Amino acid sequence: MGADPDGAPVGRRVVLGLLGLGALGVVAGSKVQQGLSELLAPIQLRDPTGFTSLVPLGNTWRYYSVTGAVAPRDATSYALKVSGLVERPTTYALADLEALPQLSFTDTFQCVTGWHVPDVPWTGVRLSDLLDRAAPTDAAVGVRMRSFDGVYSVNMTLDQARADDVVVALAMYGKPVTHDHGGPVRIYSGSMYGYKSTKWLSEIEVTATNDPGYWEDRGYPLDGFIGE
Ligand SMILES: Nc1nc2c(c(=O)[nH]1)N[C@H]1C(S)=C(S)[C@@H](COP(=O)(O)O)O[C@H]1N2
Ligand SMILES: [Mo]
């Protein structure tokens, strides 16, 4: 632990400096905090100690990755597989997803650990559209959403995955989803806590059972509905 893939771990001096900046953010208000939060993104992704979570950020984004740094994918290297118990397994390129009907809505992003970000605009393809196109078989019960970080996954029941507010998100704030937010493609589920929204989405597998994923194996509820 401690060493990042590029070499140096986040040092004590950096962390102490950031704590000072965080205090400044509290005084200066949310504009500065948003800027700080973006500045911290690459450090948070490489900070396995969690020290940067001590910085008081207010209602701004944290940037989570259970695997540390993730190798980026772009329009040429990205692919999304829809697999498992379906009549029509399909692999989508980014352009294929962009060509499908898009749903846009604004919603509060809520992490189960307590932080939230109000009024986040999302645009994406409804997961139910992709499932309809794939045609789940009668044996289908669950949907597993995997990440190209190679580790993260999350399950929903087929019914939960078909809800109106579950999207395969291509844009946030009117721009392509950034790498730090799990781009080029991530899940967003409006009714559920953030851990149900797989970043760096690479596969949607329709399954016969609704199995626990990464955080559910570590104690988070299998039904991730906000407020339950
Ligand atoms: N691949 C992957 N997806 C993930 C996570 C992660 O660590 N890895 N963290 C989850 C959790 S707990 C939250 S709150 C959100 C955070 O999204 P953000 O990093 O865009 O703020 O991503 C979710 N999806
Ligand atoms: Mo979270």
Q: Which residues contact 56 (CB under 8 A, 6 or more apart)?
A: 22, 23, 25, 26
**Average pLDDT for residues 199-215, to the nearest whole number?**
97
Q: Give domain limits for the chain.
A: 2-54, 79-218
The CA 87 to ligand 1 mean position distance, Å, reads 30
Residue of the CA atom closest to atom 18 of ligand 1: 63
Q: How much is the CA Rg of the chain, to the nearest whole Å?
A: 18
- pLDDT, position 155: 95
Q: Give the percent of the chain with pLDDT over 90.
A: 68
Cα–Cα distance, 25 to 36 (Å, whole number): 8
- pLDDT, average across residues 68-94: 97
The pLDDT score that the predictor gives to residue 3 is: 38
Render the burial of 13-50: b for 16+ CB within 10 Å, e for the rest: eebeebeebbeebeeeeeebbbebbeebbbbbbbbbee
How many Å lie between the centroid of ligand 1 and the Cα of residue 194? 6
pTM of the entire structure? Answer: 0.85
Of the two residues 3 and 31, the one the predictor is more confident about is: 31
* Mean of all residue pLDDT scores within the chain: 87
- At residue 7, the pLDDT reads 42
According to CATH, what is the number of the domain 79-218?
Answer: 3.90.420.10
pLDDT of residue 5: 39
**How much distance in Å is there from the Cα of 174 to the middle of ligand 1?**
20
The rounded percent of the chain whose pLDDT value lies above 70 is: 78
Which of these ranges, 26-30, 105-109, 183-187, has the smallest mean pLDDT?
26-30
Residue 195: name the closest of 163, 148, 153, 149 by CA: 153
* Ligand with minimal distance to 63 CA: 1
Task: In whole angstroms, give the CA distance from residue 82 to residue 66.
Answer: 23
Q: Is the shortest distance between the CB of 181 and ligand 1 below 6 Å?
A: yes
**116 Cα to the center of ligand 2, angstroms:** 9
CA separation, residue 212 to residues 106, 135, 149, 202, 224 (Å)? 28, 23, 18, 18, 11
Predicted local distance difference test score (pLDDT) of residue 22 = 52
CB distance 147 to ligand 1 below 6 Å: yes
Question: What's the rounded Cα separation, in Å, for the pair 34 and 26?
Answer: 11
Whether 111 lines ligand 1, by a CB cut-off of 6 Å, is yes
